[in-house]
Amino acid sequence: MFLEQLINGVTQGSIYAIVALGYTLVFGVLDIINMAHGEIFMFGSFVGLLVVTKAGAPLPVAFLAAIASAAAMGLLLERIALRPLRTRRGASHLASMISTIGVSILLENVAHKLFGAGNHLFETSFAEISFQIGSVTVYLVQVVILLISLVLMAGLALWLSRSRSGKALRATAENLETAGLLGVNTNRMITATVVIASAMGGVAGVLVGMAFSYINNQMGLSMGLKGLAIIIFGGMGSVYGAMAGGLILGLSETFMVAYGSSGYRDAIAFVLIIAILLLKPQGLFGQATAEARR
């Protein structure tokens, strides 16, 4: 019982971590919370569902379609909702976040119109493949979800620290004007950041469908709020914090349902936020600000 719940918690936490990676990537560069990220993730789920159930295509094609559609939505978001406000003199720092809230509401209503309300079954034969380890049943999809989350975390960390484009992105995040003076195409780097973060949301969307066998048009809000909780818990802008926070939240929720009350499952995320802010305001892997160190 305990081992099965542990595996379930790691699986769920890995999905949370992928969603949070998208949040933390955008925050690290633009210093804003992309509140539309959850709805882009939700659209990725539905694209994967349509490709698998309607077109009868294999799962790799569903992943590619979800990634492409989510990346395209991220590109449109950056060009239409973020860039005009970022380049406008005198615009409030909160204007971009408010703009993403508007996009979030729009996408949720569009999804309701296109796909309808209620749950939609996401059935794949791959999700039924399992094997026994002693008395514990492990599903292959659980292993795949964990591996994908680890690969994405490691790949993102290596890209940011080792590649030329990753260093350019970090320079853009550090100081937009200085990076531009050094020859970095800051608009291109910001666009790439939003597109990559959105594409990761598309991956997470298909994984959620595979893991839970259903999706709906309201899942973006719940997942988005938990992604926000995770980056605060793990440390704003920290790749490793997003992964650690996702796993901790997934395990906490799973064990709360198994050994406590399922009614408090969603509340656990925000209890964790309050606790970590009281004990360590910058998050598990966050850095204290200069003012806080004085």
pLDDT band at 259; cut points 50, 70, 90: confident
Q: What is the pLDDT of residue 111?
A: 92
Give 216's DSSP letter.
Answer: -
In this structure, the number of other CB atoms found within 10 A of the CB of residue 120 comes to 17
Beta strands in the chain (DSSP E): 120-121, 130-133, 136-139, 214-215
The mean pLDDT of 84-88, rounded to a whole number, is 79
Tally of structural domains, the chain:
1
CA 32, distance to chain mean position in Å, is 15
Q: What is the pLDDT of residue 68?
A: 96
Give 236 or 67, the one with higher predicted confidence.
67
The mean pLDDT of 183-191, rounded to a whole number, is 88
Residue 221: give its domain's CATH number.
Answer: 1.10.3470
Q: Which residue has the tokens 């620290």?
A: 161
Domain limits for position 157: 2-293
Cα–Cα dist 31/187, whole Å: 15
Give 70 or 27, the one with higher predicted confidence.
70
Q: Tens digits of per-residue pLDDT, 115-163? A: 888 889 888 888 788 888 878 888 888 889 889 988 988 888 888 888 8
Ranking 10-19, 65-74, 179-188 by mean pLDDT, the lowest is 179-188
CA 104, distance to chain mean position in Å, is 14
Q: Which residue has the tokens 């259903």?
A: 214
pLDDT band at 202; cut points 50, 70, 90: very high
Give 18 or 277, the one with higher predicted confidence.
18
pLDDT band at 291; cut points 50, 70, 90: very low
Q: Does the pLDDT at position 229 exceed 90? A: no
The mean pLDDT of 285-289, rounded to a whole number, is 64
The CA-atom distances, in angstroms, between 142 and each of 85, 214, 267 are 41, 16, 24
pLDDT band at 105; cut points 50, 70, 90: very high
Q: What is the pLDDT of residue 269?
A: 67
**β 120-121/214-215 pair status:** antiparallel
Average model confidence (pLDDT) across the chain: 85
Angle at 225 between CA 222 and CA 230, to 5 degrees: 125
Q: What is the pLDDT of residue 102?
A: 92
Q: What is the pLDDT of residue 293?
A: 39
Phi first, then psi: give them for residue 124, nearest 5 degrees: -135, 145
The mean pLDDT of 214-231, rounded to a whole number, is 86
